[in-house]
Structures are given as structure tokens and as C-alpha cells.
């Protein structure tokens, strides 16, 4: 099987599986029925076409006219959820949009909300109790590792500022900023006095 059809098949299957697992996403998909969106991904310079019916069909080749065309980096897609962001992104040349702006918003919301639920999938194999225990245990381990990393970073910061004196301590930075503000205030007062003297001459 050629590479591009394989990629579109994986995207299509993944999206439809995630949507079918969530009744809210199924309802939102139904509202998009009959719409066609083309998405040009700048990272890979490829255009994918999303056709909405009872499911999502993803095509690499499409001859028709889409209801909405988007060209962007994939990382920008979540920002399209808000209409104000779309206008800003277009001005910044981060998004090229041709067609229905509301359709672009709905599409962005649907795509960013399509998140896997590992507990739900695991429960089909192991049962609810085991799935919940495994997922909760994984979250606890991740939290423990994250706490250890944060503690290590804080300790390293203390070593740099207090023992090795390579970086200034937070209080020293705050004091320096206060001194800078005071100098700026004094300069402003001096400037105002000079301006008054010039006006009296």
C-alpha cells in the first residue's frame, strides 16, 4: 500500500474510533454532515480533505470544491477554536483561510477534542476495575516523577544562586529592579524640572 493512502487510512480510522467513543463528538459530527474541509499541513506540504457524513472520510486527492480551505502548521489548529484568534492568525500569516470561518472553528474544536480515553479502551480488555487501577497508577507514577524533577530543578537553582553564586538570587533581582525603577523616577523628575526651567526662560 502506498505511503500517503496508508497515512490517510490511519488518520481516518483513528478519528472515527475516537468520535464513536464519545456521544458528544458523535452529535457534533452530525452537525457537520455534508461539509468538506481541505487542510494543507505546512510541516509536510500535503493537503488532506475531510468529508463529513455519518463518519469522517480522509482523502489525499479530491477534485471538488471544499466548503473551507485551511493552510497552517498543525500546532496552530487548536487556536482556531476562537474566532478572534482566527483573525489575528490570518493577519500574522500563520493561517490561510478560504471559505466558511465558522466551519473552520467547528472543525478545530472537533479535532482538538478528539482525545483518546485509555481507561475506556483498556476496560474493554481488562474490565473497569483493573483499567481504572492501571490508569490511576500510571498517573500517580507520572506525578511522582514530575515532583522529583521539580524538586531537583529547585535544588539546582539554589546551588547556582546560594552556593556557587553563578546566578543572582530572586531577592537580589527584585532589589535591582526596584533600584532601576527608582533611577527612572528620579530621571523623570529631573526631566520635568529641566522642562519647567526651559519654559520660564
Whole-angstrom CA distances from 84 to 79, 80, 81, 108, 133 are 9, 9, 9, 14, 42
Residue range 3-116 forms a domain whose CATH class is alpha beta
Give the per-residue SS3 of 105-122: HHHHHHHHHCCCCHHHHH
**88-111 pLDDT, tens digit each:** 888 888 888 899 888 988 888 888
Grouping H, G, I as helix, E, B as strand and the rest as coil, residue 34 is coil
**Residue 157 pLDDT:** 67
Residues in the chain predicted with pLDDT less than 50, given as ranges, are 1
Query: Rounded to two decimals, what is the model's pTM?
Result: 0.57
69 phi and psi angles, rounded to 5 deg: -120, 130
Across the chain, how many H-helices and E-strands are there?
A: 7, 5
**Residue 1 pLDDT:** 43
Grouping H, G, I as helix, E, B as strand and the rest as coil, residue 65 is coil
Domain ranges (residues) in the chain: 3-116, 119-200
Per-residue cell: 63: 477534485
**Residue 120 pLDDT:** 62
**Cα angle value 124/127/130 (rounded, 5°):** 125
**Residue 37 pLDDT:** 94
**130-139 pLDDT, tens digit each:** 656 765 666 6
Amino acid at each position: 500500500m502506498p505511503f500517503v493512502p496508508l497515512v490517510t487510512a490511519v488518520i481516518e480510522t483513528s478519528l472515527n474510533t475516537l468520535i464513536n467513543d464519545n456521544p458528544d463528538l458523535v452529535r457534533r459530527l452530525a452537525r457537520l454532515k455534508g461539509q468538506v474541509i481541505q487542510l494543507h499541513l505546512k510541516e509536510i506540504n500535503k493537503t488532506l480533505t475531510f468529508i463529513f457524513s455519518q463518519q469522517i472520510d480522509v482523502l489525499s486527492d479530491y477534485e471538488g470544491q471544499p466548503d473551507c480551505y485551511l493552510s497552517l502548521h498543525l500546532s496552530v489548529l487548536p487556536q482556531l477554536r476562537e474566532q478572534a484568534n482566527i483573525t489575528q492568525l490570518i493577519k500574522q500569516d500563520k493561517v490561510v483561510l478560504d471559505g466558511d470561518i465558522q466551519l473552520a472553528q467547528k472543525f478545530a474544536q472537533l479535532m482538538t477534542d478528539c482525545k483518546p480515553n485509555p481507561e475506556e479502551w483498556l476496560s474493554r480488555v481488562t474490565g473497569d476495575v483493573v483499567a481504572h487501577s492501571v490508569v490511576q497508577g500510571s498517573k500517580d507514577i507520572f506525578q511522582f516523577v514530575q515532583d522529583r524533577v521539580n524538586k531537583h530543578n529547585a535544588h539546582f537553582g539554589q546551588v547556582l544562586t546560594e552556593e556557587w553564586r553563578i546566578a543572582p538570587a530572586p531577592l537580589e533581582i527584585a532589589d535591582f529592579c526596584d533600584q532601576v525603577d527608582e533611577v527612572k523616577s528620579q530621571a523623570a523628575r529631573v526631566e520635568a524640572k529641566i522642562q519647567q526651567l526651559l519654559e520660564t526662560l
